[in-house]
Structure 1
Amino acid sequence: MTEPTPNEIMAAYAANAVNFAQSNFGISLDFTVESVELVEALANRLFHTRPKGFIAKLFRKEPSDKDVQNVCKMLGSYIGEVYRQNKGGEWQINHDHQAIGLLEGETWIFPLAKVLKRITNGKKDDLNLYFAEILE
């Protein structure tokens, strides 16, 4: 049995994102560039479910760090796969950043880290703007 490649692993996470969006939010993701807007809308909803500040955290159950990591993996992989279908690139481990990213030519992009920033920081890390920038 051969080990799955990073491309296969990330494609599987992206497929999980499609199922997650459909079953939890009724959102249909179809791997088009336009569908990144739906991922942004979903990330915005997730951002607003995270309590802001210590007192809020005491009184509201928030998604666990593991839940957040899983969502970031799925949605980040999805954005990366949309990018790969449009521009190419290969998923690889970047040892400098200790993270998985997409390497296209000489350029690294880290969509999983970007989704985490979006869910943590809100609109200033807008995924539509990010995707438009990396597509250029």
Structure 2
Amino acid sequence: MPSLKPFLFVSAALFSVTTLAADKVQADFVPDAAVQRAATAYAAQAVATARDQFGIKLDGTDASMAQLDTVLARAHTSYTAKSPRPSEEQVMAVARMYGSYLGEVYRLKQGGAWGMATRDGQTLPAMRTRSGSNFWPWTQAAQRISKGAGNDVAGYYNALVNK
């Protein structure tokens, strides 16, 4: 597994940023092989964790986004039931993993690239679509965990695919 230390600094920033897919081509994206390697490793970890902890199969298909949302719904239930709530870093540890799965399925099925892009004045790991739009899979997963069903990943993924 590649060194993940470079990605820890973005955890709090990613968690606090709202999620929306970009509507226009954005020039600030820089492809990053280290982000790609980390996302690939995190996505493999998501598949194993969903299988081992939840008995849910994430098979890399578009349809698996519904199963991914089920896993994140359980994470949200756990998040809201705990007192005190898990820290932003704890949420981001889970969000990086499952957000990477979201991004990797998109990349492998639709095309795209992992890299770094600026959003709200912060440079964060992101995905660039073939059409030139940026989106932030880790942030979407974090929002699903912390804010609930209004941030479902299945709907998010379908909106990205149907753009």
The verdict on a shared fold, with TM-score over 0.5 as the criterion, is: yes
Question: Any stretches of 5+ residues in structure 1 without a counterpart?
Answer: none
In structure 2, the residue matched to 1:100 is 125
Superposed displacement of residue 51, structure 1: 2.9
The amino acid that maps onto 1:8 is R
* Match of residue 117, structure 1, among 123, 129, 143: 143
Distance in 2 between the 1:41 and 1:124 partners? 13
Percent identity over paired residues: 29
Flag the structure with more relative contact order, 1 or 2, with Cα contacts below 8 A and sequence separation at least 6.
2
> Superposition RMSD on alpha carbons, in Å?
1.9
Q: After the TM superposition, which parts of structure 1 deviate over 4 Å for at least 4 consecutive aligned residues? A: none
Q: Deviations over 1:44-103 (max 9, x none)?
A: 111111136xxx625xxx544333111100100000001011111110011344211101
Normalised by the length of structure 1, the TM-score is 0.85
Superposed displacement of residue 8, structure 1: 1.9
* Match of residue 5, structure 1, among 18, 26, 34: 34
Superposed displacement of residue 111, structure 1: 1.0
In structure 2, the residue matched to 1:46 is 75
Distance in 1 between the 2:123 and 2:56 partners? 32
Q: Rg: which structure is higher?
A: 1
Distance in 2 between the 1:35 and 1:82 partners? 9
Q: Deviations over 1:20-42 (max 9, x none)?
A: 11111111111111111101001
Counterparts of residues 54-69 of structure 1 (less than 5 Å): 57-58=83-84, 62-69=85-92
Q: How many residues align?
A: 128
Deviates further, 107-116 or 65-74: 65-74
Instruction: Tell me which protein shows more helix as a share of its residues.
Output: 1
Question: Any stretches of 5+ residues in structure 2 without a counterpart?
Answer: 4-32
